[in-house]
Structure 1
């Protein structure tokens, strides 16, 4: 992967759906609210992740319901944490196209621009014998309108940095959570061009911090490198002189908020919950809203009222 020719590929500003009122937020369930030491400008991010669109298990019907619940919620930007389709990985691109068609219908119903991170399931044909895909990201990038898999988007006073946290590796595991040296160099370049006082939001599919496996298995359980970004600490160290209040994460289908030394690592649950078969641990079918206002960071996760079918 080459460095993008423009220092901030895909950068643009969006201010939309303001002034719609707060009535649509009535179903929000507050999960965590915390003060921050340095005053941050206001921001509202509508965030969802792990859609896993598929034709069965009534997923298209559920996606229509999710879109209807999300559409009226006012936000400055809408972000998706990846895994918008259910197959990917071992499936050829031809098998993935119909799943992107289903996801397209969700986006049409949502009726709002969305910035996407790439998830592991969005990569097609990694191990499709006998012809593995030369570029497993190509299909998802084309269907989602992504110019670069990692890029920046400015919204209000914030810079959103969207990372590509899935690295394809040989062997049966297929991928790991990892930020490549080329991408780290890009991060350093972006930060060199970003004022230190400008707050940054990171979006990554595979998480940088999580207690998911400790909750699922044992307090002593250790996350493997296909569940968490292996070199997360190295990447976070690049931001040591910058304001990084929030890291938005996906992949583990859990609703989780970790406040670590003033940095908020937010696991965004899942539109599909437990792969459309019911809640995953205690996380229901849902989406979230990140609100930064009055020197407070607040994360709310909203179930959209779906019950597993089939």
Structure 2
């Protein structure tokens, strides 16, 4: 790998110009290190920064600083017996702890000192005292140490950013389709970040949560993506049973590539309800093939007009030829 070199960096320095050091930036962008020295130019000023890649992100600036204070404090304040922890702790336990934390978050049970301990107990009883000791040993003011480590303690007692996201998203999904729920979640996350309150003080979003940002409603906001569909060779009996079981009035027909090839409505099949021989017919004998469809980026207003113009109660949503959703009058 290389980069286009337009000017000689040494010559630029001699002329009091600021070099971009493209090769160095390319190298830093492709080689991953936990700590790395990075060069950059911002607002016409060259600078060097040290990037700490192991510090977890936000969600607020205050949370980010608390994460750093906690980590650095623990590293500085760990007792002597942990200096040789690699000799006393089995690496299999370390690996298990790592994967468990990634999978279960604050629900993790850690292997620690030959016993099992919850993440809350490990943080509150073992790691936080180390962090306080480490920060105090380097002259960090008690006020700052207590403020930032208090944020870590509050998270252990309440919830983390991941837990806030999951709980809020599940709540909002009760009243909104997936895409709109994600937009409401993102908008509220942004507003809470702007105030820079620690995440442990955030109120979990409720099902009726909205956003002050203007969102132009598109088909993706209201379409159903949990779709029951059938193959053209399936029997009408199967279609009737699914429609009755799930109380649905429209059934898309797709092929093996999930391409939409037809559509059945309750009006198309209800006359076969008590005719056993007729129900053995295959779907392709009854399905509509001349279909009116929409894309997920179409506005709800245009989709509604399309349904009214063609007097249809169902509008399949396609991406290319693939079926990705469906809208009915109830969604409107």
TM-score range, shorter-chain basis? under 0.3
Taking structure 2 as the reference length, the TM-score comes to 0.21
Larger Rg: 2
Q: Higher strand proportion, which one? A: 1
**Bigger RCO of structures 1 and 2 (CA < 8 A, at least 6 apart):** 1
Taking structure 1 as the reference length, the TM-score comes to 0.23
